[in-house]
Structure 1
Amino acid sequence: MGVEVRVEGLTKSFGKQTIWRDVSLTLPAGEISVMLGPSGTGKSVFLKALIGLLKPDEGHVFIEGTDIATCSERDLYEIRKLFGVLFQDGAMFGSMTLFDNVAFPLREHTRKSETEIREIVMEKMTMVGLVGAEGKLPAEISGGMRKRAGLARALVLEPEIVLFDEPDSGLDPVRTAFINQLIVDLNAQIEATFLIVTHDINTARTVPDNIGLLFHRHLAMFGPREMLLSSEEPAVRQFLNAQTVGPIGMSEEKDADELALEDHSTLPALPPIPLQLLPTDGRPRPTQAPPGAWCAANGVTPPPGSFLDDPLSPHPLRVHDPVSSGGAA
């Protein structure tokens, strides 16, 4: 099972430029969370702060009781062993085969034999669907395959926390869908805590258990997926539903004149909340809530058409129950 990550009052600046201030949130253990935000809002900086590559100006990041913002270098080195990171472009060593790229962390950080390393590497390459490509160089494969190789490398040390920095960057919609399904399947298998930075709205609407939005140098909101997808908070509503009406403009924040022109604009209706992506075997992940559970628990009426197999269908989703249907026999 993954570990909880607790962030309290995190602030980061570069010189006189504040990236974000007073960010507080908790990444629940074993769950998938997504961090969104317009370009330049510091999402990748946030990932680097979580793993201790950047020191915050203020605040704390607690992982298994250790504050990585203030701990010693020795403690930070040990905490980093809990992490796996998938970088935007895979970050492969160009002169190494995929096998050697994936094996690199094992050779650097463990004393395992080459036989053990081969077994682990091939297991991870099987998980990401790259068996047969282990002898290829990064330049000989597609961008999507490089992403999957990078993911295999992120998993070889059995991390409790996996960070994904724009895993869909540069991928076409079909490859993005495959990567999303792979992320969900992997979370079901290893039950680690996942945090994904992305711009892809379909990913944000269908993959995570929780969503956060960075905007205008602060965390606009963080919480369960259904909470944000039914939210009327202007920036959250605008970004998650790809709308033009709202505080986010071409240069991140609209000026007063632009907002004044929108005062009497009619907001588009919130679109239906889609079903959350299930693992390939169709069984919910251990941390995955039933469709509509948050809305029901909090007295929120979801947008019409929410939680249907087909949003245009008037009939609600029928959830398969193996006990009542005799599937347990």
Structure 2
Amino acid sequence: MGVEIAVTGLTKTFGSQTIWRDVTLTIPAGEISVMLGPSGTGKSVFLKTLVGLLKPDAGSIVVGGQDVPRLREHDLYEIRKLFGVLFQDGALFGSMNLFDNVAFPLREHTKKAESDVRRIVMEKMDLVGLTGAERKLPGEISGGMRKRAGLARALVLDPEILLIDEPDSGLDPVRTSYINQLFIDLNAQIDATFLIVTHDINTARTVPDNIGLLYHRHLAMFGPREMLLSSEEPVVRQFLNAQTVGPIGMSEEKDADELAAESGQELPPLPPIPLQLSPSNGLRRRAQREPGEWCRTHAVTPPPGSFASADHAIPYAAGLAPAGALASRSGEVG
């Protein structure tokens, strides 16, 4: 079972530069959350602050009942054992083969016998589809395989929280789809709390249970996937639908002249909300919601064509699904 991360009033500056201020959100235990934002908005800084590598100027990060920024070094060392981290490039040791890379945290932080180390490493490598590649060096494998090896290493200590920094960087769309499915399958198996930082809109629209957006030195919004994908909030709408009309410009925010020139322009319609990815075995994850559940509960009309399967879309009448309409499609999870 994953662990909840409760963030309150978090502020981080570097000198006179404010990265973000007064960030407050709760990352639910055992769910997959995604953090988005234009380049330079401090998404990676946010991950480093959660795990205690950087100290905030103000605010709290409560993990397992402990406030991370206020822990002494020894206690911080212990709380970090709850975390597994997948870095952008995998961060593998180039002189070690994949087996030794994955084994490194076990040899560094535990006193397990080498037979136990081998069993655990092979189990995690099998989990990410790398059985048979354990003797290869990082320079001998593809970028996608390096990502999976980094993920196996992040999993060897059985973390309750996984922080994943831009897993799609350097990957083509097909490999990105494979690793997205892997995150869904892993969450179904280990029930850990996932926080994924990404720029990939398809990942944000199809993978997470929750989405957050950092923009202009603050948290613009955080909540269930359907809430953000149906949102009319300008910056959320623009970013999640990759539109040019809105407050985000080439240098993060547009100037007054650009915004004035756009005033009165008709916004393109919101695209349909896709079905969320399901585990490969067809079973429901614990955190998974019925497609359209949030929209139905909050009386929000989703964009036309939302929650479409291969054959048809889930019907909505006057913005709400008829009673039992979603339940009757229980075999199709969202």
TM over 0.5: yes
Equivalent pairs: percent with the same residue? 76
Change (3 A) 1:321 1:171: closer
Q: Which residue of structure 2 aligns with residue 95 of structure 1?
A: 95
Letter in 2 for 1:145: M
Letter in 2 for 1:199: H
The answer to whether 1:229 aligns with 2:229 is yes
Displaced runs of 4+ in structure 1, greater than 2 A?
A: 313-322
How many residues align? The count is: 321
Q: Which residue of structure 1 aligns with residue 26 of structure 2?
A: 26
Q: How does 1:162-201 map to 2 (within 5 A)?
A: 162-201=162-201
Change (3 A) 1:50 1:272: same
* SS state at 1:226 partner: helix
Q: Which residue of structure 2 aligns with residue 327 of structure 1?
A: none
| 1:315 CA drift (Å) | 6.3
Rounded to whole Å, the distance in 2 between the matches of 1:110 and 1:195 is: 25
Letter in 2 for 1:47: L
Letter in 2 for 1:158: D
Rounded to whole Å, the distance in 1 between the matches of 2:108 and 2:228 is: 41
| 1:310 CA drift (Å) | 4.1
Structure 1 residue runs without a partner (length 5+): 323-329
* SS state at 1:205 partner: helix
Q: Which residue of structure 1 aligns with residue 39 of structure 2?
A: 39
| 1:283 CA drift (Å) | 1.4
Letter in 1 for 2:4: E
Rounded to whole Å, the distance in 1 between the matches of 2:313 and 2:88 is: 40
Letter in 2 for 1:43: K
Rounded to whole Å, the distance in 2 between the matches of 1:315 and 1:106 is: 47
Render the CA deviation track for 1:216-240: whole Å, top value 9, x for unaligned.
Answer: 0000000000000000000000000
The answer to whether 1:78 aligns with 2:102 is no
Structure 2 residue runs without a partner (length 5+): 316-325
Contact 2:84-2:162 within 8 A present in 1 as well = yes
Render the CA deviation track for 1:177-214: whole Å, top value 9, x for unaligned.
Answer: 00000000000000000000000000000000000000
Q: Which residue of structure 2 aligns with residue 319 of structure 1?
A: 329
* SS state at 1:9 partner: strand
Q: How does 1:267-282 map to 2 (within 5 A)?
A: 267-282=267-282
| 1:319 CA drift (Å) | 2.3
Rounded to whole Å, the distance in 2 between the matches of 1:221 and 1:273 is: 18
Q: Which residue of structure 2 aligns with residue 204 of structure 1?
A: 204
Rounded to whole Å, the distance in 1 between the matches of 2:310 and 2:237 is: 22
Q: Which residue of structure 1 aligns with residue 302 of structure 2?
A: 302
Letter in 1 for 2:31: E
Q: Which residue of structure 1 aligns with residue 285 of structure 2?
A: 285
Q: Which residue of structure 2 aligns with residue 127 of structure 1?
A: 127
* SS state at 2:70 partner: coil
The answer to whether 1:54 aligns with 2:64 is no
| 1:284 CA drift (Å) | 1.6
Rounded to whole Å, the distance in 2 between the matches of 1:225 and 1:201 is: 12
Contact 2:307-2:313 within 8 A present in 1 as well = no
* SS state at 1:270 partner: coil
TM-score by length of 2: 0.94
| 1:87 CA drift (Å) | 0.2
Q: Which residue of structure 2 aligns with residue 158 of structure 1?
A: 158
Q: Which residue of structure 1 aligns with residue 322 of structure 2?
A: none
Letter in 1 for 2:57: D
Rounded to whole Å, the distance in 1 between the matches of 2:26 and 2:79 is: 17
Rounded to whole Å, the distance in 1 between the matches of 2:76 and 2:304 is: 48
Change (3 A) 1:267 1:194: same
* SS state at 2:162 partner: strand
Render the CA deviation track for 1:230-273: whole Å, top value 9, x for unaligned.
Answer: 00000000000011100000000000000001111000000000
Q: Which residue of structure 1 aligns with residue 7 of structure 2?
A: 7
